[in-house]
Chain A
Amino acid sequence: MARRLINCVVNGDETDFLCEDGDSLLDSLRNEVGLTGVKEGCGTGDCGACSVLLNGRVTCSCLVFSPEADGATITTVEGLADGDHLHPLQECFLEGAALQCGICTPGFLVAAKALLDANPNPTESEVRYGLAGNLCRCTGYDKIVRAVLEAAAQMREANV
């Protein structure tokens, strides 16, 4: 089958890759672009481990066909830090022990970034509903929710 060339911007860089029409963006990011920080937990859009920002919206990359990403701007967990300067969410996840095994962490960080981009001052309930598309089986979510609230507070303070 003829493969299709896709051009997009991934984590700020012009990127191209080849795909078949039926390939998922998740598989292309992992296997063609080499961004294995994007995780597969289910392949059916239920767990959120493969979350990326697609044109600014949090999206399960397993539910996107790769050709749909042509011309898109994509952010993955690998693009959250600014050089060697971690994003406040990453800092707060580390400080707050908001990860145990770490497989869901990339998806949570991306989803939390989208949440805070849209709502810099969320309530606990808004964080819980904002992250309800991401499954974590280790933490019981307590420390994740606290880390996101703490990051939100730090980011607001930094922007004052």
Chain B
Amino acid sequence: MTIADDPATTLPGYKWVGTRPIRPDGFDKVTGRARFGADLTLAGMLEGAVLRSPHAHARIVSIDTTKALALPGVKAIVTGADFPEPAGNPTDQDMCRNAMAREKVLYEGHVVAAVAATSKRIARKALDAIEVQYEVLPHVMTVDEAMAPGAVLLHDGMITKGMDPAPTEPSNVASRVVYQRGELDKGFADADVIVERTFTTKPVHQGYIEPHAAVADTTPDGRSTVWCSSQGHFAMRAYSAKVLGWDPSRLKVIPAEIGGGFGGKTTIYLEPLAVRLSQKAGRPVRMVMDRDEVFMATGPASASKVTIKMGANKAGEITAAELWMAYEAGAYPGSAIGAGSMTALAPYNIPHFIIEGFDVVVNKPRVYSYRAPGAPQSAFAVESVVDELAHKLGIDPIDFRLQNAVEEGMQAPYGPKYQKIGFKETLEAIKHHPHYSAPLGPNQGRGVAAGFWFNAGMNSSAVVHINEDGNATVVTGSPDIGGSRASMALMAAEELGIDYNRVRPVVADTEQVGFNDVTGGSRVTLATGAAVVDACRKVIADLRARAAKTWDVPVEQVEWVDGQAQHVDGSQPPLSLAAIAKGWARTGGPISAAATLNARGVGAGFSTQLVDVEVDPETGHTSVVRYTTAQDAGRAIHPSYVEGQLQGGVVQGIGWALNEEYIYNADGKMDNPSFLDYRIPVASDLPMIDAVIVEVPNPGHPYGVRGVGEVGIVPPLAAVANAVAAATHRRFTDLPLSPPRVLDGILNGTEES
């Protein structure tokens, strides 16, 4: 039986779920006590530093560490020669080469060597003393360059997957995906209006404020303990082990508090280097990235190029869509082109379409997940064109979306039929929000856009211990990025029927709790939450048995109500959780239960967003003056932190739309690897973000939870661009909409009605 089948899942009224208590880890985080990745100091600890490629593409001819090793205070140096030959599947091998370059460096910032020394200053000096000879190679920086005939190849012998017949010549195209339905020609023949445009976006970074950090202490028995901030310490253990050629169990990974991740901290960078340096030096090693290293050498989101043609008839039905999409993967294959293709048309029921996507390697850092990975780029193109079609047809953009919106039972563009979803509910919420009919000022424009994300389930473990005072400890292995300890405690309090403050949630290390997949894919409240609920229900079954033993009655006569055991006919005075805990020695020993699962019942998420912008016609500067987002959360366990996810996703999307981009020079080097020049939104750039939580409960989860972390970043790119189009009467197709670009459009672009 899955949890969702349990009749107890439809509890009529909740006592804790849906309330807004203070998060359990909050006190540590407002007083400076919370220990993040860089905050640990161990006795005898060395400081590490990384030597990175200054070239976008080069062959490593030789590395000489002799002079560096001779410097006083330098205790260990590692290069590619200190790691085993990459093994496993191609993705694993790429990860190994990304963590430490071997034959070639493929982007500026690629790791070439690492040093451990008695101080960071000495470690940096040692980097300067390492002599590396490179044979510099030509580089390719964009999908156009990389896909051009005769382009320089990053990987010899890479044959495009997903082509029929398979190509005979290698290229920079790692793979091709196709999704299609119906007959495209018929669909376009049915259209009265057709819009065709090409959209581009630049690489953008997750921009977490905490740089990557890791401390490793490798002991002579061949084991290592690693403290690091990540979105999943079990993944850090597994990936580090691959790079080291170790069994994962030789590593113990202790989760530090994590200072933001957004997908970017679901893989390893420093961890295996720190382990190996610590092993060579025989001392603990701490490694912390500088901000420029975070920008240059950790995975941003893909730059993209999307050509889209979409048609609709006068009745307001989208009849056909054709998408050609290419995503930059960075140095190794693995952009989110698959998800980008699958999500692109997911909000709409379109009879005829084809989506063709390409994963393209370029001489930039290997991209990594960023909040709904792959979806914002394709949604930017689709939602811009949907907006333009509505405009050309003279139909309100929300009504146009409502008319074409998917609902339960319709087939998704990527294949299966939708289960219970709440897209239309989010559209209606925006349509009826006072914002939608509020007057606009001069130079202002209003934009709407929608977005879809799958959400995820995956593997989780949880243990619930009842303490001798009747309080509960809830142990999981899911790092808390945005308040998940609170939602675990709320669900446990609800299940056990005890006060929220009597539940202590703990994020345990890799040796103290069973395996948990990463905190990503918007999965923790759903999947780890389901494991917590499952463990609580096992505890309750045990508590009922203990009460039955105490009363000498069959267990069927014992119910668990409001945190106490009650006899069905009231013939016994109720036994509270605390009372049962107090007597546990006489009823069978301590009370504890574990649950593990590969979660089912994932509920997809939709978001619809509304924005007003004001564009300064003199400078091209765009200000966001009002923003409203409506998102289906299924059910909000802690509404404040759900709102926080909605608001945070929107603002990252605003940054993507208006300011953020990696800027490269002709040598393939990043020109703006700092928060000064890579400008993320600050408080004075923004209004309040009105977060409307729509609740269409997910029938697959005990409390109706859908993931909420990701879909909020999908609509803002197009929502802002649509608003800028409305304000300026010009359609912008290239992000970011920075002042020079918008001003150029105003001065030189074509005015549209």
Q: Which residues of A contact B (CB under 8 A)?
A: 20, 22, 30-31, 35-44, 46-47, 49, 76-78, 80-81, 86, 90, 93-97, 99-106, 109, 124-125, 127-129, 131-146
The reply to whether A141 and B259 contact each other, CB–CB distance below 8 Å, is no
- Against A, the Cβ 8 Å flags (1 = close, 0 = not) of B28-64 are 0111111110110100000000000000000000000
The reply to whether B262 and A137 contact each other, CB–CB distance below 8 Å, is yes
Which of chain A's residues have a CB closer than 8 A to the CB of B32? 35-38, 76-78, 106
The reply to whether B34 and A143 contact each other, CB–CB distance below 8 Å, is no
- Additional A-B contacts beyond A49-B209, A140-B686 (14; CB < 8 A): A38-B32, A44-B676, A76-B32, A81-B31, A94-B30, A101-B257, A127-B683, A131-B682, A133-B682, A134-B683, A137-B206, A137-B260, A140-B644, A144-B683
Which of chain B's residues have a CB closer than 8 A to the CB of A142? 643, 647, 686, 688-689, 691
B651 contacts A by Cβ under 8 Å: yes
Which of chain B's residues have a CB closer than 8 A to the CB of A131? 682-684
Chain B residues with a Cβ closer than 8 Å to the other chain, count:
59
Q: List 24 A-B contacts (CB under 8 A).
A: A36-B36, A39-B210, A40-B211, A40-B288, A41-B675, A42-B675, A46-B674, A46-B675, A81-B31, A86-B31, A97-B640, A97-B643, A100-B641, A100-B644, A103-B259, A125-B684, A127-B683, A128-B683, A128-B684, A132-B683, A136-B683, A139-B648, A142-B647, A145-B683
Residue of A nearest to B210 (CB): A103
The reply to whether B22 and A95 contact each other, CB–CB distance below 8 Å, is yes
The reply to whether A143 and B644 contact each other, CB–CB distance below 8 Å, is yes
- Against A, the Cβ 8 Å flags (1 = close, 0 = not) of B266-310 are 000000000000000000000010110000000000000000000
With beta carbons under 8 angstroms apart, the residue of B211, B483, B684 that contacts A41 is B211
Per the bound structure, the CA–CA distance linking A77 and B32 in Å amounts to 6
The reply to whether A140 and B651 contact each other, CB–CB distance below 8 Å, is yes
Which of chain A's residues have a CB closer than 8 A to the CB of B33? 37
A22 to chain B, nearest CB (A): 8
Residue of A nearest to B262 (CB): A137
Most A CB contacts (10 A, CB to CB) among B30, B643, B681, B689 go to B30
Known interface pairs A38-B32, A105-B30; A44-B481 also in contact (CB < 8 Å): no
Which of chain A's residues have a CB closer than 8 A to the CB of B206? 137
Majority secondary structure of chain B interface residues (helix, strand, loop or mixed)? loop
Most B CB contacts (10 A, CB to CB) among A35, A43, A139, A141 go to A141
Residue of A nearest to B480 (CB): A101
With beta carbons under 8 angstroms apart, the residue of A40, A77, A95 that contacts B31 is A77
The reply to whether A129 and B684 contact each other, CB–CB distance below 8 Å, is yes
Per the bound structure, the CA–CA distance linking A47 and B676 in Å amounts to 9
The reply to whether A101 and B481 contact each other, CB–CB distance below 8 Å, is yes
The reply to whether B686 and A104 contact each other, CB–CB distance below 8 Å, is no
Per the bound structure, the CA–CA distance linking A31 and B119 in Å amounts to 11
Residue of A nearest to B206 (CB): A137
Known interface pairs A44-B291, A142-B688; A99-B262 also in contact (CB < 8 Å): no
The reply to whether B683 and A101 contact each other, CB–CB distance below 8 Å, is no
Per the bound structure, the CA–CA distance linking A22 and B124 in Å amounts to 14
Per the bound structure, the CA–CA distance linking A44 and B291 in Å amounts to 9
Which of chain B's residues have a CB closer than 8 A to the CB of A109? 30
Which of chain B's residues have a CB closer than 8 A to the CB of A128? 683-684, 686
Which of chain A's residues have a CB closer than 8 A to the CB of B488? none
With beta carbons under 8 angstroms apart, the residue of B34, B211, B648 that contacts A100 is B648
The reply to whether A135 and B209 contact each other, CB–CB distance below 8 Å, is yes
B652 contacts A by Cβ under 8 Å: yes
The reply to whether B651 and A102 contact each other, CB–CB distance below 8 Å, is no
A84 to chain B, nearest CB (A): 10
B27 contacts A by Cβ under 8 Å: yes
Which of chain B's residues have a CB closer than 8 A to the CB of A146? 688
B17 contacts A by Cβ under 8 Å: no
The reply to whether A36 and B35 contact each other, CB–CB distance below 8 Å, is yes
Which of chain A's residues have a CB closer than 8 A to the CB of B208? 101, 103, 137
